[in-house]
Each structure stands twice: as structure tokens, then as C-alpha cells.
Structure 1
Amino acid sequence: MSLNLDAITKAVMEAKAKAKRRRFKQTYELIIRFKDFDVKNQANRFNITITLPHPLQGKEPRVCVMATGAMVLAAKEAKADAILTREDIEKLSGNKKEIRKLANSYDYFVATPDLMVLIGRVMGQILGPRNKMPEVVQPNADIKAVIDRLKRSVRVRVKDQPQVMCKVGTEDMDPKQVAENIAAVLDEILKRVRPEQLRNVIIKLTMSSPVSVNPFISR
């Protein structure tokens, strides 16, 4: 089935019209609920990172790079939100409070291969359950491209409820851009869930009432 971008855009605009004005920048949230979907079946559970066509203006994810050698300088030039060297990671050993703080402060972690054993030993018990173990990048990788990709990505995860939720835009974005982000998420979801398993698709701003949308073109 094909996605109806016009219908999605209309729903985005309706959600914005329903939102109360606030002093902070509100975020568009996408909620997809499933039916005939057994979350106890491990085959139905997924945890994926989806790259959006348009970044969340002012609400981009924060990326921490763990690296050695030339990658440290490259990460600085690429404006990583944080950089940890081998020595930094070693200093965290046994300091669960600081590791939890780090885990809560950053959305994505990337690391060079030579640090993965150390990271697993020092931080694995905290990063693992949060699904924040680092993405491995080779020492010669274009770290700026990696950071740019992650800064316009969202994580979508099925846990103990038959639904997924994620941010797909901010109130100052063009509604069509938000709709295109929603379509990108739906495209990835529909690789894992049949269209008829979508109970409802809901779009809302932080302080707006929800708007349901049929994202498909009727035939």
C-alpha cells in the first residue's frame, strides 16, 4: 500500500492548530499502535534506528564519540557533543553514578573497535539495558557523516506494549517536512509489520490533543 503524504501533512497541520502556545519549542510525536501483534513473541520485537530526511530543528539527538588517535581530533572538528578517550573511559570504572549520568545525557554513542572490550567491561551493564551500546566505526570512517546521520535519526522500539512512539519534528518545521519524516518512519515499520496490523496512527504536538490519520492511499 502507498502512503498518502497529503493526508499525513493535513494531520500534522491539524495537530499544530490544536496545540496551545507555550514558551518552549514543542515536538511532534508519532504514536503507532498495533493489533493482532504478540509482543511476547521475540520475533515481533524490534529496536531500530531510522534516519529522517529532515533533522529535528533545535531538538537534535546528542552524540558521544569514544575514540583514540586521529579520530579524537576528527570528532572535535565534526562537533561531536562529547568525546571520551581511552583514559576517560578507564576513569569511569566503578563509577556507576557518572556512567548513568552519561547514558542519560546522550542519545547515541559511537566508538572505534579497539575500545569496545573496555567499554563493555566498564559501561556495558548500564549502556546495554538502555540499548545504547556504541555503534562501531572504523578508525578511517568519516566521523562527521556518522554524527550528521545520527543527529537526524530516531530510535523506534517495541517493548512490552504493542506500539511504538518517536519524535518526528518540531513546531517550527514546515508541515510537509514533518510529514516526510513520518513517512520515513512508517516505511521502516511496514518492513516489519503488515499494514492491516496498524490499529491507529496518531500525530500530536507536546501540548496538543492527538490527531488520528489513515496514512494510506485508498484504492
Structure 2
Amino acid sequence: MEKKEILDALKLLRENNTKRNFIQSLDLIINLKGMDVKREDQRVDQFLSLPYECGKQVKVCAFVDKQLLKNAQDNCDFVISNEDFQSYAKNKKELKKLANGYDYFISQINVMAEIAKIFGRVLGSRGKMPNPKVGCVVQGTVDLKSLVQKLKKTIHVVTRGEASIKAFIGMESMKDEELAENIHFIYTHVVDSLPQTKNNIKNVLIKFTMGKPHEIGKENESTKLEKAGSK
């Protein structure tokens, strides 16, 4: 998929977009074919750090001991010291509030066992346990500033029981070039991870929150007429 195709699709999407009284998000939908995503070896499950931040605030919470406490307080949105873990142990309301309030959770490696015991059920059911795949299980000497900056551009690209990938990739207020870079980046990485690469792609769609989806690479009727008239 060429970047020009993406830019053309974004142009058409904006031309047919009804203005709302809020800034809409842009979603990418990659429909797959010839795959059984129930098979573990054919699932897509990647964390991708995009070229551009998506425009929404990404909130990060850290579980640490005193070694990483100051570093975490300087760089994360919320910090829970190991001395305070037990205050959450029997408070289901606070656990759910915590899980719903943050996008990523970082854990110092030496407190992971406690995290799993106290926070595991609530975070795990939401797919938010500190994940080593994205670098969220850390040593006490880690540079949290660079990790948090990376997380603010990171999305989880995954097939959730169906042959389709849906990802939030930006806001309508962003430049088309930035949105196109994010889309092309995701598409390229997904294609490279598929058993038959491009042959496993059925189609690729983009849509605003309240709008209809538009297929990238598919011309609308007016474009076809313009081309026909120029011949």
C-alpha cells in the first residue's frame, strides 16, 4: 500500500465528513483473510511505537519501591509505592478505578509477584498487566522518562477473536501527512507479521468516530468519472 493511496483516502474521508462539535478520532481497520486467528500461531499481537503521537492523552501508572520512587513521581501520571500495595488488596472499587484510569502500567521487576497477587485479576482481565513486550517490567535503574515518552506513542495491535484489527491512530485535528505515516507504519508491520503477507489482507479501512468507513485504495464515483473524462 503506497502512502499516496492513504493520503487520497484521507482527503476523500475529510470531504465526506460531517463536522461535529468535538474533535473526532480516526480509526484504522485491517480486515484479514485466509487465516484462523483462533490459532495462536496465526494471531496478530504487537505493540507498535508510532511515528506520531495519536493526539489523546496516554496515562501511565507505575508500581515501584523506594529505589525508583522519585524517578516515577517525576515522569508518570500516578505512582503506587510497594508500601501502599496492601491498601488496594481488599478494595475492589479502587482497583477497578485504577485499572480504568490508566492506559499503561509499569512495574519494577522485584515487585511483580506482589502486583500479580493484588492487582493481577483486575488488570489482567483488561489486558493491562505490566507487559515486558512493551518494556513495562523494569529494573530499578531504568530511565523512565524515555520509556513514558515511548508509551505515549505506543498502540496495541491485536486480533481479538476475529479476522480483523482495529486501532485508534490519531485525531482529525492532526495533519494528513502525520496520520498517513501512522497508518503506513501499522500496515507495514502487520503485513510483515502475516503468514502470507499481503495475501492475507482483505481490505484496509479508515473512519472517523461518527463517520462511515472508507476503503484505502478504492476510488469513489467522482474520481472514476474524472479519470474517464480525461481519457
TM-score scaled to structure 1, two decimals? 0.91
CA deviations over 1:127-177 (Å, ceiling 9, x no partner): 123221112011111101000000111111112110010111111111010
CA deviations over 1:26-58 (Å, ceiling 9, x no partner): 11100011011112212112322110100022x
Structure 2: state its 5+ residue gaps.
131-135, 219-231
Comparing 116-125 and 43-52, the one that deviates more: 43-52
Counterparts of 1:155 and 1:200, CA distance in 2: 20
Q: CA deviation at 1:204?
A: 0.9
Correspondence for 1:203: 206
Question: What amino acid is aligned across from residue 95 of structure 2 in structure 1?
Answer: I
In the TM superposition, structure 1's runs of 4+ consecutive aligned residues that sit over 4 Å from their partners are: none
* Contact 2:65-2:83 at 8 Å conserved across structures: no
Secondary structure (helix, strand or coil) at the match of 2:119 reads helix
Counterparts of 1:99 and 1:191, CA distance in 2: 38
Correspondence for 1:48: 46
Correspondence for 2:173: 172
Question: What amino acid is aligned across from residue 198 of structure 2 in structure 1?
Answer: P
Residue 146 (structure 1) aligned with residue 142 (structure 2): no
TM-score scaled to structure 2, two decimals? 0.86
* Contact 1:61-1:153 at 8 Å conserved across structures: no
- The CA RMSD over aligned residues, in Å, is 1.5
Secondary structure (helix, strand or coil) at the match of 1:191 reads helix
Question: What amino acid is aligned across from residue 12 of structure 1 in structure 2?
Answer: L
Q: Pick from 82, 88, 91: which aligns with 1:86?
A: 82
Percent of paired sites with the same residue? 31
CA deviations over 1:162-193 (Å, ceiling 9, x no partner): 00101111111110100100111112211221
Question: What amino acid is aligned across from residue 166 of structure 2 in structure 1?
Answer: M
Number of corresponding residues: 211
The structure where helix makes up a greater share of residues is 2
Residue 114 (structure 1) aligned with residue 131 (structure 2): no
Higher-RCO chain (CA-CA 8 Å, sequence separation at least 6): 1
Counterparts of 2:141 and 2:108, CA distance in 1: 10
Correspondence for 1:97: 93
Structure 1: state its 5+ residue gaps.
none
Counterparts of 1:82 and 1:123, CA distance in 2: 15
Correspondence for 2:121: 125
* Contact 2:63-2:105 at 8 Å conserved across structures: yes
